[in-house]
Structure 1
Amino acid sequence: LQFPLLAWNAVCPLVAKLKRFYEFSLRLENALRSLLEALTSPPYAPMQHLEREQALAKQFAEILHFTLSFDELKMTNPAIQNDFSYYRRTISRNRLNNQQLEAENEVNNEMANRMSLFYAEATPMLKTLSNATTKFVSENKTLPIEDTTDCLSTMACVCRVMLETPEYRCRFTNTDTMLFCMRVMVGVIILYDHVHPVGAFAKTSKIDMKGCIKVLKEQPSNSVEGLLNALRYTTRHLNDDSTSKQIRALLQ
């Protein structure tokens, strides 16, 4: 009996932490939709919005940076789902025995089910933001979809130019700034790909995907492999017929 008790006592604080991140994802979802509304609403064009509301654009970038950082850590830590599965099995077993453990007051069965769906995603935070962006577009039918996609493609372009232009790169004082720009660039590409009818990889896309992938591949592989994987596995249109063989080859 001692080992299960030790395992339970070890896993409960971890589950409480997972709950906090799950609840934070819901706050991020609301924040993202508010930011999209502020950065796309008439009468200004996306570029004007990004120039006029630089503080909001920076907050949008910070959310994307956190999201990609979190998901990279999640993908490399399978223990997260293993621990959570153990927790769910234990509370299910105790319910069958008409017992309730103190930890269930914080993460009950209903909450555990919602968290399980969240952490089952390969990139849970990114999935949350992608769904939020898609929902924002579908609910704002009077707002042209181009206002949203142009905002995202403009941000991707700004990040790419900063990463590939020597005059900008020399201002980066450390690798963290480079990584910040790369994560934001990949984040807006993925959101664009989820809401644009033909996605980010088509020839008609306003995002220079070849340039974006090239600038990623110029960085040390250990710092960008997670970002390249995000483009490979969390976009919607990479495998469409409209995607050129050259772009697919770049991501292999």
Structure 2
Amino acid sequence: MGSLLSMLRGSSNGSSGSSSKLIRDAQSSARFSKQFDEFIYNLGDQRNAEYVKETFPEGDRVLRTGRELLEKVGRYEDGSNEVRMAISQPTPENEAAAWQKIGPSVALLRECFDFAQSVEGVIPQVLNELCNHANDEDAGRSDRNRGLARLLADLMQNAFAFDVLKSSIPAIQNDFSYYRRTLSRISKSQDTEIAKYCIPHDVSNQMSLFYAYHNPMVKAVVDSATQFAKDSSNEKAVLDCLSALAAGSLSTVKHRRADSPKSERMCVLVLVTCCVLYDWIAPHGVGSPQSTIDTKVIFDQIGDRMLVESTPAERVLRANCRTLR
């Protein structure tokens, strides 16, 4: 983590060794944030996005797919009327009409479920790059770490947005519940237009568990990051990385040093992302005295800044953390 911490420290006079000691100090979250007051974090720079596109095409592809799915979910077609009719008057005709209505919607939900699995595959790669290559000599002069930080935040923003949409469309749960309830019977249909929407039972069960959570996409990101930290036996490096990214972003927001409103918004998004991931990975959580992220200062800075679908950043943070409520 040496070079990454040096990069984030900017023009501070402390050595990388003292920064590492500062991170290890469980009681020093306030001093940790102060250590990075001079860092300027211009996440809105287009070079950051270009870096990801050129050197991490899989991450860029997943991000673009996520944005396309958000647009589709935003146009979700409610099948409540057809489902209600099929339940109250369960004739073959009404059931067929309900399935024809909810079939495309269920196919979309399957796409989103598959996408969540793609995200679970990308998150460890991003964290691995940030943690294991932070000692590169040119880490402070390239767009690499900023690009990866932006990708991590963009993926989390996509997850936030999906979960907000999902919670605002009750028909998603209702349509899928009806789908599962009638799957065994409808799967025997000779109507190819209906049969093509049938999903294997094991996948249907997994989807049911996925959509049962109030924040399924964020959970996919969090679970993936937590498992990576556990499997790599390098939990401390991951937490140090998240702390450093949060500190650099906090300094920019606090001192209004972003080069554009877009950069400032990205810094707020990085702050929220790092806090959420840290909260689930660290046994003590992000709001504890042992945390190296100063959530009190962060709450003071993000305030009611809008982050996702006109939802204040603080509300997004509290809704997705384990220990902050």
Give the TM-score normalised by the residue count of structure 1.
Answer: 0.78
Residue identity over aligned pairs, in percent, reads 30
1:25 alignment partner, one of 116, 122, 128? 116
- Number of residue pairs the alignment of both structures matches: 228
**Counterpart in the other structure of 1:245:** none
- Please list every run of 5 or more consecutive structure 1 residues that lacks an aligned counterpart in the other structure: 239-250
**Counterpart in the other structure of 2:212:** 120
Q: Does the CA-based 8 Å contact 1:163-1:181 persist in structure 2?
A: yes
1:193 alignment partner, one of 236, 261, 279? 279
**Counterpart in the other structure of 2:302:** 216
Distance in 2 between residues matched to 1:200 and 1:5, nearest whole Å: 50
The 5-angstrom pairing of residues 84-163 of structure 1 reads 84-94=176-186, 99=189, 101-105=194-198, 107-141=199-233, 143=234, 145-163=235-253
Q: Offset at 1:180?
A: 4.3
* Correspondence 1:231 to 2:317: yes
Q: Offset at 1:4?
A: 3.0
* Correspondence 1:4 to 2:95: yes
Return closer, same or farther for 1:70/1:158 CA change in 2, 3 Å cut-off.
Answer: farther
Distance in 1 between residues matched to 2:176 and 2:264, nearest whole Å: 34
Distance in 1 between residues matched to 2:155 and 2:114, nearest whole Å: 15
1:171 alignment partner, one of 260, 269, 283? 260
**Counterpart in the other structure of 2:288:** 202
Distance in 2 between residues matched to 1:156 and 1:195, nearest whole Å: 15
Distance in 1 between residues matched to 2:96 and 2:128, nearest whole Å: 49
Q: Does the CA-based 8 Å contact 1:40-1:148 persist in structure 2?
A: yes
Alignment RMSD, CA only?
Answer: 2.8
* Correspondence 1:80 to 2:179: no
**Counterpart in the other structure of 1:41:** 132
Q: Offset at 1:42?
A: 5.8
Give the letter aligned to residue 238 of structure 2: T
- Please list every run of 5 or more consecutive structure 2 residues that lacks an aligned counterpart in the other structure: 1-90
Q: Offset at 1:36?
A: 0.9
Q: Does the CA-based 8 Å contact 1:190-1:231 persist in structure 2?
A: yes
Q: Offset at 1:187?
A: 2.1
Q: Does the CA-based 8 Å contact 1:65-1:180 persist in structure 2?
A: no
Return closer, same or farther for 1:3/1:99 CA change in 2, 3 Å cut-off.
Answer: closer
Q: Offset at 1:60?
A: 1.6
The structure that has the greater radius of gyration is: 2
Distance in 2 between residues matched to 1:154 and 1:99, nearest whole Å: 57
Q: Does the CA-based 8 Å contact 2:149-2:270 persist in structure 1?
A: no
Distance in 1 between residues matched to 2:162 and 2:129, nearest whole Å: 25
Q: RCO greater where, 1 or 2, for CA within 8 Å and sep 6 or more?
A: 2
- Deviation per residue, 1:52-100 (Å, 9 max, x gap): 53332222222112111111212222221111111111213436xx547
Give the TM-score normalised by the residue count of structure 2.
Answer: 0.62
